Amino acid sequence: MLMSLSTAGHVLWEKPLGATGHPHLKPDEPNESGSNPSTDGKHVIALVSSGDLCCYDFDGNKIWDCNIEDRYGAFQIEHGIHTSPLLYEDRLYLALLHRKAHWIVCLDKNTGKEIWKVPRPTNAELESREAYTTPIIWPLAGEKQLVIVGSDYITGHSLADGSEIWRVGDLNPKSNYKTDFRIIATPVATPDMLLVGTVRDNGPIIALKPGLRGTLSAGNPFELWRAKGAPDVASPLLVDGYAYFMHAARGDLLVLDAKTGKEAYKQNISNTNYRASPVYADGKVYLTGRGDGNVTVVKAGPKFERLAVNHLDDNFAASPVIADGRIYLRGYNNLYAIQKTDN
């Protein structure tokens, strides 16, 4: 279901999206509407695991729809497709990385028609062929690039035609190959750095600088550093020279110096699982627990300081959104809007 609500919490409209045959693809995890909608302020575009991709305007009028499985082949991925559509200027980008196929697709946001489709080759095996990451734009000073992470590689692509500009390997070395090296966390980027987290159990965290070309391995000249301790599910947070990683299973917060990759600190926040990505506002980092309903607030910077723990009677997998002085949280049961009062 795609819903539109006012900032006062009133439902403006709601539209069913596709047919959901498996309310929970994995016990106690989110359902088949796990990806985030994308918007340009006029359109809102949403994808669900049935392959249904829909575009609506802000009044709830359908602009177009299609089914990605019908176009590009049936999905074969253990926990369902949860990549989010990336809307940038007049184009919509999708990364379809699963066991049966590996495609990067670009659609016209106004019509849903295909602009280009390119294969993304991989020699990954079994579950490592699967990825749940979302494409991002690397806002380089020169030509912006589309970055795709998953299926054992990081790749950069031309926005014009999808052609591959570079790829970085050795994420999952053949000398100690893991067939369950499926990447969930979406990378983050600044004009000077691309920061990639990979998988659980001390998977690599990789920082890259601009200028990459061709096929590259670990230790290439554009690799700023590699560290261990990837968070598995949550995307990294990069702010004021520090990188924050919230570990999915152990509830540990890992903070690294973004320039060197050296550890600033590691602190256990809670023994619950974490699916939501850390978010930042007003000098504070917000960490949302899945099972305990707690949002822990810590001071941003190189030293750990817990400022608050706020509890809501719900479970949370979606990352909070901060806008206009409010924090919006999507729980399993409710949507919440929280703001500071004048009292």
In this predicted structure, the answer to whether residue 23 has a pLDDT above a threshold of 50 is no
User: What is the predicted pLDDT for the residue at 81?
Assistant: 85
Asked if domains 1-119 and 135-230 share a fold, the reply is yes
User: What is the predicted pLDDT for the residue at 30?
Assistant: 56
Where are the alpha helices (H) located in the chain, listed in sequence order?
68-72
User: What is the predicted pLDDT for the residue at 25?
Assistant: 56
pLDDT in tens, 286-338: 999 998 999 999 999 999 999 999 999 999 999 999 999 999 999 989 999 99
Q: Which residue has the higher pLDDT, 12 or 49?
A: 12
150, 83 contact by CB (below 8 A): no
User: What is the predicted pLDDT for the residue at 78?
Assistant: 84
In this predicted structure, the answer to whether residue 167 has a pLDDT above a threshold of 90 is yes
Section 150-173 average pLDDT: 97
Span 1-119 CATH architecture: Beta Barrel (2.40)
As a whole number, the mean pLDDT across the chain is 93
Q: Which residues contact 201 (CB under 8 A, 6 or more apart)?
A: none
User: What is the predicted pLDDT for the residue at 82?
Assistant: 86
Provide the 3-class DSSP secondary structure of residue 232.
coil
pLDDT in tens, 76-127: 888 888 899 999 999 999 999 999 999 999 999 999 999 999 999 999 999 9
Dihedral (C-alpha) 89, 91, 95, 101: value to the nearest 10 degrees? -170
CA 178-181-258 angle, to 5 degrees, is 115
Q: Determine the topology of domain 135-230 in CATH.
A: Thrombin, subunit H (2.40.10)
In this predicted structure, the answer to whether residue 208 has a pLDDT above a threshold of 90 is yes
Q: Which residues contact 326 (CB under 8 A, 6 or more apart)?
A: 7, 337, 338, 339
Question: Which three-class secondary structure string do you get for 181-212?
Answer: CCECCCCEEECCEEEEECCCCCCEEEEECCCC
User: Taking the domains of the chain in order of start, what are their residue ranges?
Assistant: 1-119, 135-230
In this predicted structure, the answer to whether residue 32 has a pLDDT above a threshold of 80 is no
